[in-house]
Amino acid sequence: MSLDYKTHIYNLMQLVPSIWAVAIVEGENNIVYSTDNWDISADVENVCSSWNSMRAPFIIVSGVKYMLLECEIDSLVATSIKKEGHIVGVKNEERKIITYVEPDGDRKAAIVELSRVLQAMCPKTLYMDANNKSDRADLAMETRETGYVDPQMKSKIEEFLNWIKNPDGLAGYINYYLQQNDVQTIFELAKIYAELRQIFGV
């Protein structure tokens, strides 16, 4: 079943009005959806290449130069030194969402909501359906019995650790939702916190 990109993006832009334009990219640089007011087809290859390298000092979109403030595996934030706006993006293994945010827009809020939309587009985890508890139990038992840890799984945990350490990562998101008094998210975070304490026995 194909994704309803238009509805996802419409809801996103209603929630975060400072996001003025959006493009969704799948594969290396295949634009599968974009808002009518934005055409980045001439720039998408270089933007994706710069993002993947995580070393580029800037990107150019529609003739505007944006300095990279954050370039992580799963997120990108760039801003125009001439105060012409920002480029904010998130990605996973399947797709990238790249947006233009107005000059006075909240880049962090954009990242938070983009991450939610990206997750909604791809509800399955890398390894298994989050609701399939028996599969998770089997994997945990096999790992304990053999002592073998999947390198991809270990890599994900290392990424998670870096995200925790990054001031604009987990701590930034938690602070954002606390400030928004988002009851549902705060409730879910409290449950996760309790589960983590139980895992570590503290």
CATH of the domain at 49: 3.30.450.30
Q: What pLDDT, on a 0 to 100 scale, did the predictor assign at position 123? A: 58
Structure tokens at 33: 């959806």
Is 178 within a domain? yes
| Same domain, yes or no: 10 and 106 | yes
User: Is it the case that residue 163 has pLDDT exceeding 90?
Assistant: no
Q: For residue 168, what are the domain limits?
A: 133-200
User: Is residue 86 within 8 Å of 68, Cβ to Cβ?
Assistant: no
| Same domain, yes or no: 194 and 140 | yes
Q: What pLDDT, on a 0 to 100 scale, did the predictor assign at position 45? A: 95
Q: How confident is the model at residue 22 (pLDDT cuts 50, 70, 90)?
A: very high
Q: How confident is the model at residue 145 (pLDDT cuts 50, 70, 90)?
A: low
Is 126 within a domain? no
Q: How confident is the model at residue 174 (pLDDT cuts 50, 70, 90)?
A: confident
Average pLDDT over residues 50-58: 91
pTM, 2 dp: 0.64
User: Is it the case that residue 109 has pLDDT exceeding 90?
Assistant: no
Question: What residues have CB less than 8 Å from 57, skipping those under 6 apart?
Answer: 67, 68
CA 69 from centre of chain: 15
| Same domain, yes or no: 182 and 105 | no
Is 127 within a domain? no
Which of 86, 121, 156 is the last residue in one of the domains? 121
| Same domain, yes or no: 20 and 106 | yes
Span 67-90, pLDDT tens digits: 999 998 899 999 998 999 999 999
Q: How confident is the model at residue 191 (pLDDT cuts 50, 70, 90)?
A: confident
Give the gyration radius of the chain's Cα atoms.
18
Integer angstrom CA distances of residue 179 from 22, 109, 172, 188, 197: 26, 11, 11, 16, 24
Question: What residues have CB less than 8 Å from 126, skipping those under 6 apart?
Answer: 93, 152, 156
Is 191 within a domain? yes
Is 91 within a domain? yes
Is 73 within a domain? yes
- The domain total for the chain is 2
| Same domain, yes or no: 112 and 141 | no
Q: Which residue has the higher pLDDT, 127 or 27?
A: 27
Is 128 within a domain? no
Q: What pLDDT, on a 0 to 100 scale, did the predictor assign at position 126? A: 37
